[in-house]
Amino acid sequence: MHVVAVLAVDHAHSFDLATPLQVFTTAHSVPVQPGAVLGEPLYRVVVCGDGEDMVVTGVGGAEMYRYTPAHRLRVALDADTIVVPGSAGHRWPSPDVIDVLREAHRRGIRIASICGGAFTLAAAGLLDGRRAATHWTDAMVIAEQFPLVEVDAGVLFVDDGDVLTSAGAASGLDLCLHMIRRDHGSAVAAETARHMVVPPQRDGGQAQFIRHRDPGVGDGSLEPTMRWMRERIDQALTSDEIAEHAGVSERTLYRWFREQTGKSPLQWILQQRLRYAQELLETTDLPIEAVAHQSGFSTSINLRQHFARHTKTSPLAYRRAFRARTG
């Protein structure tokens, strides 16, 4: 079973600390029996740290509670993935934390950070020469103290293979779901999101925050329209139809999508179709033509073209590789 070690640093933010515990323990295999709530657990999560009576903080650094990690710090070196939460006040990590992170990196253990946890990774030298995400309020501090790090304050998370970083709070959910998707495929990640009652994972390149609108213009929420689009994923949708459902002009619709997702409406629905096609390839034996129709690509040729462009492989090769990896 894949082991995830959450690195308990002193003055860790409560949400950052809890997020990987919640997400990875929720991840189970897709149920085989119809109506089953969960399949088999896919991860074992351990909390590792040196010290007792460690402080956990809320927003602004206020002390919330104290606790003692269940496992010593170096137990993290036996994990497959290490997740580092953010902490209050950009505290420099202890030499022991830095040593463990560097040793884990040398061993090839996947390392991820949530929010200001990027500061800890940067202090360990793991982000030198890399692009990294963090909360937009921390970006300047990290950029100034660690000039070798390319800080991107405009995205939700960055996947750089063996090192992954995310922006503030809720983007940690997106990053954890992304890692589950990398490990076990789209269907498992989607099932995890559904069980947690959170929206399907957002793309890493999505903007960190949504611009607010002037009173009287509408709240600008795209969620009802996105839900409507997902429910019609097998249908050909035009920008005009989407704008009509949203009750705005095409120009306003395009602007809202760009601000909230970093994509146009049709680019966004294409991404959803690709993810749904991946789910169907992972969980069904449907012919490629049927997968194409159900995911809104109309023809197998159209599906293959988009699949090759975005995943660098064919639908059939993806299905075979996924089943060989998980079988």
H helix or E strand, kind and range, residue 57? strand 54-57
What is the model's pLDDT at position 199?
A: 66
Rounded CA separation 203/226 (Å)? 14
d(CA 21, CA 250): 41
pLDDT at 201 over 70: no
| Average pLDDT of the segment spanning 178-195 | 88
Q: What is the pLDDT of residue 186?
A: 84
- Count CB atoms within 10 A of the CB of residue 8: 25
In CATH terms, 2-194 corresponds, of 1.10.275.10, 3.40.50.880, 3.40.190.10, 3.40.50.280, to 3.40.50.880
The residues with which 131 forms a beta bridge, in sequence order, are 150
Q: Give every CB contact of residue 209 below 8 A, 6+ residues apart in sequence.
A: 136
Greater confidence, 229 or 33?
229
The answer to whether 189 touches 156, Cβ cutoff 8 Å, is no
What average pLDDT does the chain have?
Answer: 86
pLDDT for the residue numbered 162: 95
CATH 1.20.58.220 fits 210-327, yes or no: no
Give the range among 34-38, 177-181, 184-188, 224-228 with minimum mean pLDDT: 34-38
pLDDT tier at 267, thresholds 50, 70, 90: confident
Residue spans in the chain of domains classed CATH 1.10.10.60:
210-327
Alpha-carbon separation of residue 184 from 43, 70, 132, 233, 277 (angstroms): 11, 27, 24, 23, 15
Strands 131-133 and 110-113, by their bridges, are: unpaired
Residue bearing tokens 């991820």:
112
Distances (CA, A) of 215 to 218, 237, 245, 247, 248: 7, 30, 21, 16, 15
Q: What is the radius of gyration, based on Cα positions, of the chain?
A: 21
Q: pTM score, two decimals? A: 0.75
Map tokens 């075979």 to a residue: 320
**Which residues, other chains included, contact 264 with Cβ-Cβ below 8 Å and sequence gap of 6+?**
254, 257, 258
User: Residue 6 pLDDT > 70, yes or no?
Assistant: yes
Query: Which residues lie below 8 Å from residue 88, measured CB to CB, with a gap of 6+?
Result: 11, 13, 57, 60, 61
Paired with 167 in beta bridges are none
Residue 109 is encoded by which pair of tokens?
Answer: 């253990």
pLDDT band at 288 (very low <50, low <70, confident <90, very high): very high
- Whether the predicted pLDDT of 209 surpasses 60: no
Residues of the chain with CATH 3.40.50.880: 2-194
Do residues 30 and 39 lie in contact, with contact meaning Cβ atoms separated by under 8 Å? yes
